[in-house]
Structure 1
Amino acid sequence: MVNRLMDVLLTVPPWLALVAVFLFPALEASVFVGVVVPGEIAIVLGGVLAHEQRLPLAAVLGAAAAGAVLGDTVGYAVGARHGSALLARIPDRLLPPRHVDRGTGLIRRLGGRAVFAGRWTASLRALIPGLSGLSSVPYRTFAVWNLVGGTTWAVAFVLLGYLAGAQYRRFEGYANTIGLAALGLVVALAVGRWLVGRRRRAARATGERGATEDGGVTEAVERS
């Protein structure tokens, strides 16, 4: 199915391919299309078409980023209103419960940053916006991370297709691996930042206790 879709997108008129570059990431989270077909396929092929000078690179970048950000925004709104009902209706063979648990756990650990982290894997990208709305992540927080994540993801995969050119089929198989590596890096950075913050808070608390004890000793000496 994926290979057939790739062949079709490369043979349709350029304007229609540009529409697909916008629609696939837009529909990915808003109606859970990403559960079946990853949106980065159209993004990568848009980059290939730009490499072949059939589409302007700037137009592909703009369409991909706009589709990603808008689609996730709709997904957030749908999740906030109908998230539980929709998840219950999607068959387990299309949406394994472990993916839902994984997305919920990521939001629990990272909060709004999960919107950025989830953008880089196909299964989480289709779920995180809706789960964010369902989990009552503040919209302002969601919007900031959605803009950053959607834009950087779109640029990365468009440029992947653009640089791959005619060799795009070789790189297509690595797309999800690249996303998983990016997700791992984001999580590692978040955990590292949390550990550094924890150590700093512990050191600050120790220093304050030491200062209090020194002050108490000095006061006792002065009284004696």
Structure 2
Amino acid sequence: MTTPITAASQLAVNVLDAHSLLAAFGVLGVGVVMFVETGLLVGFFLPGDSLLFTAGLLCTGTAEGTVHLSLGPLLLAAAAGALAGAQCGYLLGRKAGATVLARGRSQRLREGAQRAEELLERYGHAKAIVLARFVPVVRTVLNPLAGALEVPVRTFTLWQTVGGLLWSVGLTLAGYGLGSSIPNVDHYLLPLVALIVVVSLLPVLAEVYRGRRTARTARPSGGDR
């Protein structure tokens, strides 16, 4: 018989811990977290990268513990949540305008909005929408920002779909691939998650480097006028 204390402990979920979320909600939890993180500003703190990677790892059945997920439903839930969330965030931004971001009290949220706007200005709509998926916080605020700035809906939908699939499916399969090929890989989960976050930032860092190199190359020609 389940006691009130046992029931309470089962309901206690650490939303910042991927294992806790997956143990409590399974595949459904992945879809919900993807939607909230990418569609609602209140979800900027959720562990999207680590959740996707850990969920993929748990599909292999090699990790210790009782949580085991099925890869097919997981991929569908992750992709659906990520795509629907981004589209929802865009529509909220389109309807509420820039005030939806201006009212945010979180310093991280304001910094993320600034970085998202810089991405849009520097790289254009398509590249910025795809790159933002791989940057925590920025992937939360760029969607309503794109709506507030009236990025064409077809452009946003196309590129958020491309970026959303690359991010959600890619990270999930990365976890699944490592879990399938490395015994007891869950023992190294924390450093692996850190590595995944760093790797996910590489496209943005590469674009920043490329932009600065182009700017340096253009300076001498500008000074000869």
Length-normalised TM-score, structure 1: 0.74
Partner Cα separation in structure 2 for residue 160 and residue 26 of structure 1: 21
Counterparts of 1:135-214 in structure 2 under 5 Å?
A: 135-165=149-179, 166=186, 167-185=188-206
Partner Cα separation in structure 1 for residue 208 and residue 162 of structure 2: 16
Q: Report the more deviating stretch, 18-27 or 153-162.
A: 153-162
Runs of 4+ in structure 1 off by over 3 angstroms are 1-4, 185-189
1:56-114 deviation digits (Å, cap 9, x = unpaired): 2122111111111110000000011114222122113342x332222112112223221
Q: What displacement does 1:156 show?
A: 1.6
Q: What displacement does 1:131 show?
A: 0.8
Distance 1:10 1:106, change over 3 A: closer
C-alpha contact 1:30 1:71 (8 A) present in aligned 2:
yes
The amino acid across from 1:182 in the alignment is: P
Q: What corresponds to 2:61 in structure 1?
A: 52
Q: What displacement does 1:188 show?
A: 6.1
Number of residue pairs the alignment of both structures matches: 190
Q: What displacement does 1:44 show?
A: 1.6
C-alpha contact 2:17 2:47 (8 A) present in aligned 1:
no
Report the identity percentage: 28
Distance 1:57 1:37, change over 3 A: same
C-alpha contact 1:20 1:42 (8 A) present in aligned 2:
no
Counterparts of 1:41-120 in structure 2 under 5 Å?
A: 41-52=50-61, 54-95=68-109, 97-113=110-126, 114-120=128-134
Length-normalised TM-score, structure 2: 0.74
Distance 1:3 1:78, change over 3 A: closer
Partner Cα separation in structure 1 for residue 27 and residue 166 of structure 2: 18
Structure 2, gaps ≥5 residues long: 1-12, 63-67, 180-185, 219-225
Q: Which has the larger radius of gyration?
A: 1
Structure 1, gaps ≥5 residues long: 199-224
CA-atom RMSD, angstroms? 2.6
